[in-house]
Amino acid sequence: MSEDKKLRQLRDRIDQIDEQIGQLISERASCAQEVADVKKAELGTAYASQTFYRPEREAQVLRKAMERNKGPLSNEEMARLFREIMSACLALEQPIKVAFLGPEGTFTQQAALKHFGHSAVAMPFSAIDEVFREVEAGAVNYGVVPVENSTEGVVNHTLDNFMTSNLKICGEVELRIHQNLLISDVTDVKSITRIYSHAQSLAQCRKWLDAHYPKAERVAVSSNAEAAKRLKGEWNAAAIAGGMAAELYELKILAEKIEDEPDNSTRFLIIGTESVPASGDDKTSLVVAMRNEPGALHNLLEPFHRHDIDLTRVESRPSRTGAWTYVFFIDFSGHAGDPVVSKVLKEVSSRAADLKLLGSYPKAVL
């Protein structure tokens, strides 16, 4: 068989498979519409105010897609395909409105689209406080905020907002962070004397900047996207930002993946108003205020150790209620509805001055 004939046969087979995939996606979308019709009949006038996104259900679907995957696509690529299909189908019921820390082109926007898919309506806001307010006011269904970076630590402003907000954590996103050096069409590459970026991104690229632009001024701005926006018209400046910002603001990537740590990643939280049922592989977050006494931290953590619960993060922050007192933000594996976890939470609450459950939610799938 000639190579041309073999290629034609393979392409014909791909066309047949594409037709089948298209039919199945349409069938799935029709089922989603039927679900919407059932809910509309059940809820009546209350239908318009309901949110039909189910974090635990979507996490289960994505995990099953990864478990069934036999290659050659990676598990993550397979899950991303299913994420976009689910996003489009859910939009037939009711598009999800999501607030994120903007402007457009930030890693937080990238995290929002990774979690909710491109059929969600993503809306940028200039501060973490504003994202919390928009969700609290009901103007959007969910918010996406950064909480910690693997090399630069926690985002304190996000933690501080949880101390005064009644919102709950409904999910998490882990995003691999690749930093790039961007220039505009008017940049003189040999005359770069100023580099814009967010303070954390400048810190994440410190060694690379020391080696390649030791004399350039490093200017911290509110976000990487803001840094990218500033380049238009500045012939002697560059910016550090992600690929989304480069594409959005029509900039050229002069150097790729300039972050100092190869495993640099950031964790984002999904905030909303409802509690999330167990998905089978969950995480719980809480904030605990302890009495200022010897052994307070040991007393706080001991029940987790005794019941073999995996603590994934413990972070202290100054309390706003008194000088030299602290609260602890704790993440651990498990759901608040689990009998063992429920028992531990009751024990910890009895030892603490105050305990606030921030939410139980599916561990990041993507």
Q: What is the pLDDT of residues 209-241, one digit of tens each?
A: 999 999 999 999 988 999 999 998 899 999 999
Quote the strand ranges of 151-212, DSSP E: 153-154, 168-176, 180-183, 194-198
Mean pLDDT for 344-364 is 95
Mean pLDDT of the region 94-107: 91
Q: Kindly tell me if the per-residue pLDDT of 125 is higher than 70.
A: yes
pLDDT tier for residue 321 given thresholds of 50, 70 and 90: low
Supply the pLDDT for residue 239: 97
With a pLDDT cut of 70, the percent of the chain lying above it is 96
Encoding tokens for residue 149? 């970076």
Report whether pLDDT(79) > 60.
yes
Average pLDDT value for residue range 79-85:
96
pLDDT score of 41: 82
For the cut 60, the answer to whether the pLDDT of residue 324 exceeds it is: no
Please give the structure tokens belonging to residue 304.
């987790």
What's the CA dihedral at 323, 267, 273, 321 to 10 degrees?
0
| pLDDT-derived band at 117, boundaries 50, 70, 90 | very high
Sequence-ordered alpha helix ranges (H) in 199-311: 199-204, 206-212, 224-229, 243-248, 296-306
Task: Report pLDDT for 42.
Answer: 80
328 catalytically annotated:
no
Q: Which of 106, 108, 266, 284 is catalytic?
A: 266
pLDDT of residue 342: 97
Q: Is the pLDDT of residue 87 over 70?
A: yes
pTM: 0.90
What confidence score (pLDDT) does residue 313 get?
Answer: 93
Report the percent of the chain where pLDDT is more than 90: 77
pLDDT in tens, 137-147: 999 999 999 99
Task: Quick: pLDDT tens for 167-176.
Answer: 999 999 999 9
What is the rounded CA–CA span in Å between residue 197 and residue 98?
25
Can 106 be counted among the known catalytic residues? no
Percent composition of the chain: helix, strand, coil (DSSP 3-state, to 5)? 45, 25, 30
C-alpha torsion angle, residues 328, 333, 334, 336 (rounded to 10): 10
Token output for 252: 């050229």
Tell me what the pLDDT averaged over the chain comes to. 92
pLDDT band at 302 (very low <50, low <70, confident <90, very high): very high
Q: What is the DSSP letter of 236?
A: T
Q: Give the model's pLDDT for residue 92.
A: 86
Is a pLDDT exceeding 60 seen at residue 111? yes
Phi and psi angles of residue 274, each rounded to the nearest 5 degrees, phi first? -110, 155
pLDDT above 60 for 296: yes
The secondary structure element, H or E, covering residue 116 is helix 107-116
The per-residue pLDDT for range 6-51, each reduced to its tens digit, is 999 999 999 999 999 999 999 999 998 888 788 778 877 666 556 6
pLDDT at 47: 61
- pLDDT > 90? residue 119: yes
Q: Which residue has the higher pLDDT, 319 or 197?
A: 197
CB-CB neighbours of 5 under 10 Å = 9
Identify the active-site residue in 116, 268, 304, 332: 268
Task: Over range 96-115, report the average pLDDT.
Answer: 94
Mean pLDDT of 250-263: 94
The reported pLDDT for the residue numbered 360 is 98
